[in-house]
Amino acid sequence: MEENKPKTGKYALNFGVITGVVGVVFAIMLFTMDMHYEQGAAVQITQTVILAVGIVLGILQFKKSNNGFLSISESLKVGAGVALIAGIIGLIWFFVLSNVVEPDYMDKMYEIGKVKAMEQNPKLTSEQIDQGIEMQKKFAWISYPVILVINVIIGLIVGLITGLVAKKQEAAY
């Protein structure tokens, strides 16, 4: 009689929710410290580490529940699933932040971008920078699917690496 194998989707959902919630807690921490406008390397690296740790923990927990067996395809499924669910939760937080908590969030981000553009490119006129910002505003919606795609790619990469390190196949007999 064949045993019931654990489902990758269950682990992707559970660890995706946990990872997403941890990411939102980190974002709320940044918000309460008035650092949510910072897009520096430290913030980006911390967010990526949170995602990677959630993916690795999900894959290792799946392996443990699967009697110590793990294939690369299972690892990729869990990794991409965790990243997708965590990304959706992160986007929901971003939507709430930019539309409910702080409705002028995007305007402030565009102002910060304008100041940076003037510092980095002093040859540009204020009108040229304003035109660029208006173009960014028209295409701001595209950032949502791009963020999800990037998250899934990170999930696939981390899942592949974890799968290569932790894989253990069942005997064919």
d(CA 64, CA 52): 18
pLDDT at res. 3: 65
- The string of pLDDT tens digits covering residues 116-138 is 767 777 777 777 777 777 777 77
pLDDT at res. 172: 65
Is 133 a member of any domain?
A: no
Q: pLDDT class for 20, splitting at 50, 70, 90?
A: very high
Q: What are phi and psi of 122, to 5 degrees?
A: -65, -15
Percent of the chain, pLDDT > 70? 94
Instruction: Calculate the average pLDDT of the chain.
Output: 87
pLDDT at res. 2: 52
pLDDT at 1 over 60: no
* DSSP designation for 97: I
Q: pLDDT class for 64, splitting at 50, 70, 90?
A: very high
Percent of the chain that is helix, strand, coil (3-state, to 5) = 80, 0, 20
- Domain with 91, as residue range(s), is 8-103+143-166
Is 43 a member of any domain?
A: yes
Is 123 a member of any domain?
A: no
Domain count for the chain, please give it: 1
Is 136 a member of any domain?
A: no
Q: pLDDT class for 165, splitting at 50, 70, 90?
A: very high
d(CA 16, CA 80): 9
- Record the pTM: 0.84
**The two structure tokens encoding residue 159:** 């899942």
The residues, ordered by sequence, that sit 6+ positions from 30 with a Cβ below 8 Å of its Cβ are 36, 38, 43
Is 80 a member of any domain?
A: yes
d(CA 122, CA 104): 27
The residues, ordered by sequence, that sit 6+ positions from 56 with a Cβ below 8 Å of its Cβ are 158, 162
